[in-house]
Amino acid sequence: MSVLKIYNTLAREKQAFSPIVPGKVRMYVCGMTVYDYCHLGHARVMVVFDMVQRWLRASGLEVTYVRNITDIDDKIIKRAVENGESISSLTSRFIAAMDEDAAALGVQKPDHEPRATAYVPEMLGLIKKLETNGLAYTGADGDVNYSVRDFHGYGKLSGKSLDDLRAGERVDIGSGKKDPLDFVLWKSSKQDEPEEVKWDSPWGKGRPGWHIECSAMACKLLGEQFDIHGGGQDLQFPHHENEIAQSEGAHQHRFVNYWMHNGFVRVDNEKMSKSLGNFFTIRDVLKKYDPEVVRFFILRAHYRSPLNYSDAHLDDAKGALTRLYNALKEVGPDSNPPDLQEAYALRFSEAMNDDFNTPIAIAVLFDLANEINRTKSSALARQLKYLAGIIGLLQRDPQEFLQGGAMSAASDSGFGEMVKAKIEARTVAKRNKNFAEADRIRAELLADGVVLEDKPGGVTEWRKV
């Protein structure tokens, strides 16, 4: 079997993956800031790194997967105050919504989902180490800041010199900073802030900055050095750059061996943003498309490529996934164990080991489906279902997916019964040689998004368009 290679953002090249502890992988992914519903960018992060951890496990590795939850942040405080509710009430509500969205997309739960508010003591300990090492200072405004120019490796992840860099969008340049690039480790409490966001510290009451959260949680759960750190491309700078500065500045050694970043989501070739009015939550999209279609759409693009969202692309993904399910509907898998040395399985593994190349892996699935359609081989059907299952696809009953699955049931519990009644009426019309009526019923169902397929023996099956 081929060796897994991962594109390491830090090295700017694909590198053979060699875990720190043989046979074990420790992976941390930056999760969501929970003040609103998850959007398509969040969906991509969740699905991509779910696919990564699935493949690592399928390759026989023991994985510890951590994806954090940021439940204290400026945006969270602002939204809670606007709503007139507590921070914990707001974040609990949107964590529950995030879990629902993730489950719908077939995303398995990480091994650990640490919430930032539960790790404040660890953050304080990390800040104290940075202060001891001469990398943190208290400004005139009471905030504790990181002194960027005193960390000699700053900029190595983003590949920019200090003079090229500017403070990130989420960093406030206050009067208490020595340098505009310096970022906040500990924010001094403001009088008008809710009491529940004020913690005691050696520097007075306050709350953690955004970046220190991930350094502290990752260190606590995975150790001072671990294998893989992932997240969206937008986090490369400043968030991940600052994580490196904090963690390596505190511990005086390498923080992460492999950095992975998934590409942006674009909408009709423009960057998704609320200001452009092209911003879609996962819930918006799932009102129109089956969750597995959305997952398939995300995985059909390479994780590092831009992902261009449009209804046309989702419709195409639906048609493609339908072709795979049709192959399994026509030929059921046999019950034998999968053959990992069979040609299609080897090609699939080769693709996945090449920096998780899901477009090529999915192309293998289509080759398998074509061969199933030609040979009617139940052994190949078993291979198709097994290989697709590794990346979280094709595990439903084919007929259930083809008839709209959970979507149609959720939108109209009587939809299936209506279709069956019309099929029965059409069968009666054909029996009575009233072919005009039979054609009318077929056209009526097609207008409702239902395609009829007449099978041998007088059986009629249906599926959603």
Task: Consult the annotation and say whether 38 binds a ligand.
Answer: no
Task: Consult the annotation and say whether 214 binds a ligand.
Answer: yes
Measured distance CA(426)–CA(440) in Å, rounded: 9
- Tokens describing residue 197: 């966001």
CB proximity list for 27: less than 8 A, separation 6 or greater: 49, 52, 53, 56, 63, 64, 65, 66, 222, 226, 227, 228, 229, 230
Is the separation of the CB atoms in 149 and 135 below 8 Å?
no
Task: Consult the annotation and say whether 400 binds a ligand.
Answer: no
Is the separation of the CB atoms in 237 and 165 below 8 Å?
yes
CB proximity list for 123: less than 8 A, separation 6 or greater: 186, 208, 212, 213, 215, 216
Task: Consult the annotation and say whether 30 binds a ligand.
Answer: yes
Task: Consult the annotation and say whether 239 binds a ligand.
Answer: yes
Binding positions: 30, 214, 239, 243, 274
Binding positions for Zn(2+): 30, 214, 239, 243
Binding positions for ATP: 274
